[in-house]
Amino acid sequence: MAEPAATTQTPVRRAALDALGLTAAAPAGAQVTLRALADVCRLNLRLDAGIGAAVAALAAAGWTLPTTAGGVAKAADGRRALWLGPDEWLLLAPLDAREAMLSALGSALAGHHHALVDLTDNYAGIEIAGRPAADVLAKGCPLDLDERAFPSGRVAQSLLGKADMILERRPDGADGVPVYQVTVRRSFARYAWDWLADGALEFGLAVAV
């Protein structure tokens, strides 16, 4: 029996939306742009009762945790902490910061009762931008997306169609158009993408890769 050919074992990362084979498209008059977000590191952080000391330890390490419902705290280098619950946060960062973040957070939280879980590949991220972006989302999301109720820098967990969604309103785009970041479970990536693309059809859909 022949020996199997020697192969170089390198880990292969596939973002959840890679399977869709998306190609960039910008038809004339498109008002909504969808973008598949790869290379986002996502960590879930849970703390329990003595939250205060752990929050202070994290603040010293450069992570301010939002403590009001729906809050988003920004840190340096594009890192953000999203409020998910009274003792739960989602920490976002560029993917190449992942190892450094895990070790930095781990040492900052040493001695504090916590759970820090790497959920990078558990989620898929989609960015939807454009003046009618809220109208597209509102077709399947019961949240109040009015400017007064959901301005930039807010996050909420809700539904998109039948999929659980973490919806974050990002800073407006350069030309003042609203930008939202949709985070869904990886297995709902295609569902959420198709759902948003279908909802955006009437406004003209552009795809950025």
Partner 1 sequence: MMLIECPWCGPRDQSEFRCGGEAHIVRPTDSEGMSDAEWADYVFMRKNPKGIHHERWFHAHGCRRWFNMTRDTVSDRILAVYKVGETSPVGDGAAAEAGAEASK
Q: Does 208 bind partner 1 (CB under 8 A)?
A: no
Query: Least CB distance from residue 185 to partner 1, whole Å?
Result: 12
Query: Least CB distance from residue 111 to partner 1, whole Å?
Result: 26
Footprint of partner 1 on 24-83 (CB under 8 A): 69-70
Binding partner 1 (rule: CB under 8 A), the pick from 159, 201, 208, 209 is 159
Which residue, 101, 105, 167, 176, is CA-closest to 136?
Answer: 167
CB 34 within 8 A of CB 128: yes
Binding partner 1 (rule: CB under 8 A), the pick from 46, 75, 79, 88 is 88
Q: Does 164 bind partner 1 (CB under 8 A)?
A: yes
Which residue, 181, 208, 190, is CA-closest to 16?
Answer: 190
Query: Least CB distance from residue 63 to partner 1, whole Å?
Result: 20
Query: Least CB distance from residue 99 to partner 1, whole Å?
Result: 29
Contacts 24+ apart (CB under 8 A), 182-186: 182/125, 182/126, 182/127, 182/128, 182/137, 183/42, 183/90, 183/123, 183/124, 183/125, 183/126, 184/123, 184/124, 184/126, 184/160, 185/122, 185/123, 185/124, 186/16, 186/121, 186/122, 186/123, 186/124
First to last CA, the chain: 45
Q: Does 156 bind partner 1 (CB under 8 A)?
A: yes
- Which residue's CB is nearer to partner 1, number 26 or number 159? 159
- Which residue's CB is nearer to partner 1, number 91 or number 207? 91
Query: Least CB distance from residue 183 to partner 1, whole Å?
Result: 13
Q: Does 201 bind partner 1 (CB under 8 A)?
A: no
Neighbours of 120 (CB within 10 A): 17
Both structure tokens of 117: 């879980």
Footprint of partner 1 on 112-151 (CB under 8 A): 142-143
Q: Which residues on adjacent β-strands are paired with residue 40?
A: 94
Binding partner 1 (rule: CB under 8 A), the pick from 98, 157, 177, 203 is 157
Give the footprint of partner 1 on this chain (CB under 8 A). Answer: 69-70, 84-86, 88, 142-143, 156-159, 164
